[in-house]
Amino acid sequence: MNLFKYSAPSIFYPLAGRLATGFAVAAVLLLVIGLYMSFFVAPTDYKQGEGYRIMFIHVPAAWMSMLIYVVMAGWAAAGMIWRTRLSSMMASALAPTGAMFTFITLWTGALWGKPMWGAWWVWDARLTSELILLFLYIGYMALESAIDDPRRAARACGLLALVGVINVPIIYYSVQWWNTLHQGASIKMSESGGIETSMTDIMLWTLLIMTFACWCYTIAVTLTRVRNTILERESKTVWVKEMVQREEK
């Protein structure tokens, strides 16, 4: 099977529509289960009481903020290498969702930080690098809307996305490399290659379900956004006109 076939917007458009619907349904289901588990099933923490439950949104959002940036940079690189129109559309469709998750991370972190640490905000390496990530997303979107020609915009934004990707490992490892107020990772790879956690299984499962919900949400929203971009950019092509005629009948 030739995967490059799907880089043609006319073939990708209907496929993206079907995928978006499926992932949207999955996102709603997982979110309902995940939120129920977050509030009612997961046990109270021995030290933080009920306040720790904010991690069930904070941690998935933080993971998504980093993962989305890496995927965005990957699409930007693909767009530069193969010059496919779709790749840069995918990259720019991911940016708003990434910015949203970064904002949620910072916001929920501040809400948790005030009662637990005693401060809304501290300038430690983890918090500061995550704030830089938010500025990278906002810069990406601003740069894109500042350049009218989509091709030139894609090149400039692609460069920004690729340079910024260096920030992601800095965020992830900041708690190991420096003394930070932010705690270290609760879930990490052990030296033997397995996964080690310092939380109970039910907390871990709740966290994973919430994360899958965020994945499905991101995929559904991004694909929908890409479909809109495709229609906008390809509005003068034959296949769009034919599709519109079919739907008007």
Partner 1 sequence: MKARHKRMMFIVLGLVSVTAIAALVLNALQSNINHFFSPTEVVANEAPKDRTFRLGGLVETGSVKREDDGLTVHFNVTDNAEVVTVKYTGILPDLFSEGEGVVAQGKLSPRGVFEAEEVLAKHDETYMPPEVADALAKAAAQGTAQ
What is the binding site for partner 1 (CB under 8 A)?
Answer: 43-48, 52, 55, 77, 80-82, 115-119, 122-125, 162-163, 165-166, 170, 177-181, 183-186, 198-200, 203
Distance in angstroms (rounded) separating the CA atoms of residues 43 and 49: 9
Longest dimension (CA), the chain: 65
- CB nearer partner 1, residue 77 or residue 111: 77
Q: 10 Å Cβ neighbour count for 118?
A: 9
Angle among Cα 246, 248, 249 to the nearest 5 degrees reads: 70
Distance in angstroms (rounded) separating the CA atoms of residues 210 and 175: 23
CB of 152 to partner 1, least distance (A): 16
One-letter amino acid for residue 111 of the chain: L
CA distances in angstroms from 93 to 164, 208, 216, listed in the order given: 17, 24, 15
- Element spanning 195, H or E: strand 195-197
- CB nearer partner 1, residue 15 or residue 189: 189
CA distances in angstroms from 238 to 87, 214, 226, 234, 244, listed in the order given: 21, 36, 19, 9, 10
CB of 245 to partner 1, least distance (A): 37
Helix axes 85-116, 201-233, angle to 10 degrees: 140
CB of 205 to partner 1, least distance (A): 13
- CB nearer partner 1, residue 198 or residue 235: 198
CB of 210 to partner 1, least distance (A): 14
- CB nearer partner 1, residue 44 or residue 235: 44
CB of 25 to partner 1, least distance (A): 31
CB of 44 to partner 1, least distance (A): 6
- CB nearer partner 1, residue 181 or residue 231: 181
- CB nearer partner 1, residue 39 or residue 178: 178
CA proximity to 165, closest of 62, 63, 61, 68: 68
